[in-house]
Amino acid sequence: MLYTTAITALLALPGASAQLNKLAKAAGKLYFGSATDNGELSDRSYVNILSNTDEFGQLTPANGQKWEYTEPSQGSFSYTSGDQIANLAASNGQLLRCHTLVWYSQLPSWATVNSGSWNANTLTSVVNTHISNVVGHYKGKCYAWDVVNEALNDDGTYRPNVFYNVLGDSYFALAFKAAAAADPNAKLYYNDYNIENPGSKQAGVVKIVKLVKAAGAKIDGVGMQAHLIVGSTPSQSQLQSAIQSYVGAGVTEVAYTELDIRFSSLPPTSSGLTQQANDYSAVTKACLAEKACIGITIWDYTDKYSWIPGVFPGQGDALIYDSNLNKKPAWTSISSVLAAAATGEATTTTRATTTTMVTSTTTRGSNPTSCTVAQWGQCGGQDWSGCTVCAAGTTCQAGNQWYSQCL
């Protein structure tokens, strides 16, 4: 019944090229979202796309809620940057993922000086004060909080940082308890990178989830950042295995929280863009296949504002819109996978050989005709062997050589 209602609503939508969130919701997910940052909000064209709730149903502040911004000096709180993005999400009607409370990076100098500045009592008080103030300020506004961020080394051992050095592994439960007390309704996440597929670090996350629960604290989710590399993205089955392990450890939901898939050398070739599209497709399919996966957030939606070139010089082009705010093949592949799920079609494997835009569909020549593709569904593209007949009121329009859609 719910499914029928969702599809009916979907079919009633006007044709639109902004649709990732709409399709994700129709496919049963909570949102498709994007990170954003304060400096970009003066770019009107950028904000127009960001604020389109057909495209993005959720925002994450990439910086503004971090400790160095929210408590720049001890006991003195500032919410200007975080509020700007929280207010934008609220006025757009978008969910807010709040990011992040306890992280070794982007700490103000007073908190980092060195571990010797603190003892267990003083640092416990510092953590409690920070979390109760910040989470309290945003109470009722955050769908979720990334409570602890990047606490693991790549081998799955605990990262030595001021919190671990002074408090040992008790700081996890401390942080989750403080966050739950300050906003009982926010979903509380552990968030990290390189935990998207099974391995030592993923096992470390399982351990943290169990540790927090054993201490009697609430932990709702695991955030898989998913800063991935084109051609090295885990397979769909690996991605699903990791998700299943987190659910098995006791969280009720997971999300891809910072997805981007970068090229390790630039510029990308057309086959590279195809590979990137397929890599994005694998992540989207994994999320769709696992009920516990509630949504996908990309770490900003355009190459124009990606963090990657600043940290990995010579790498990048990791997002789904290019620097001129044009959609890339990865956008189309995500849209295609979501549309197939939303309309109940079998998910197709995208096989692109070029990214050149064409104006007509290219199909295999033996496509069935006693069928109808609903609005948003795939109706053509290179090697497409499925139905090419669009539902009344829609026409088959080429997005690119390998994907056409009933719009």
Tokens of 225: 């950042």
In the bound state with ligand G3I, the residue whose beta carbon lies nearer, of 37 and 383, is: 37
Tell me the closest approach of the beta carbon of residue 225 to ligand G3I, in angstroms.
5
In the bound state with ligand G3I, the residue whose beta carbon lies nearer, of 106 and 122, is: 106
Angle at which helices 2-11 and 329-342 cross, to 10°: 130
**Within 13 Å and on the Cβ side, how many CA atoms surround 175?**
28
Q: Catalytic site residue 258?
A: yes
In the bound state with ligand G3I, the residue whose beta carbon lies nearer, of 105 and 271, is: 105
Question: How far is residue 271's CA from residue 69's CA, in Å, rounded to a whole number?
Answer: 41
34 binds ligand G3I (CB under 6 A): no
Tell me the closest approach of the beta carbon of residue 205 to ligand G3I, in angstroms.
15
303 binds ligand G3I (CB under 6 A): no
**Are the beta carbons of 52 and 18 closer than 8 angstroms?**
yes
Return the SS3 of 36: strand
37 binds ligand G3I (CB under 6 A): yes
**DSSP E strands, 326-394:** 378-380
62 binds ligand G3I (CB under 6 A): yes
Count CB-CB contacts under 10 A for residue 160. Answer: 11
196 binds ligand G3I (CB under 6 A): no
Q: Which of 71, 150, 196, 253 is catalytic?
A: 150
> From the list 45, 106, 122, 349, which residue makes contact with ligand G3I (rule: CB under 6 A)?
106
Q: Calculate the CA 390 to chain-centre distance.
A: 31
> From the list 32, 256, 307, 376, which residue makes contact with ligand G3I (rule: CB under 6 A)?
307
Tell me the closest approach of the beta carbon of residue 264 to ligand G3I, in angstroms.
16
Please give the residues from 147 up to 166 whose contact with ligand G3I meets the rule CB under 6 A: 149
105 binds ligand G3I (CB under 6 A): yes
CB-based closest residue to ligand G3I: 307
36 binds ligand G3I (CB under 6 A): no
In the bound state with ligand G3I, the residue whose beta carbon lies nearer, of 226 and 390, is: 226
Count CB-CB contacts under 10 A for residue 356. Answer: 9
279-310 burial, b at 16+ Cβ within 10 Å, e below that, comes to: bbbbbbbbbbebebbbbbbbbbbbbbbbbbee
Q: Catalytic site residue 253?
A: no
Please, what is the Cα angle at 169 between 166 and 173, to 5 degrees? 110
Tell me the closest approach of the beta carbon of residue 146 to ligand G3I, in angstroms.
8
Tell me the closest approach of the beta carbon of residue 142 to ligand G3I, in angstroms.
15
CA distances from 43 to 48, 178, 304 (A): 9, 37, 11
Residues that bind ligand G3I (CB under 6 A): 37, 39, 62-63, 105-106, 149, 225, 258, 307
Catalytic residues: 150, 258
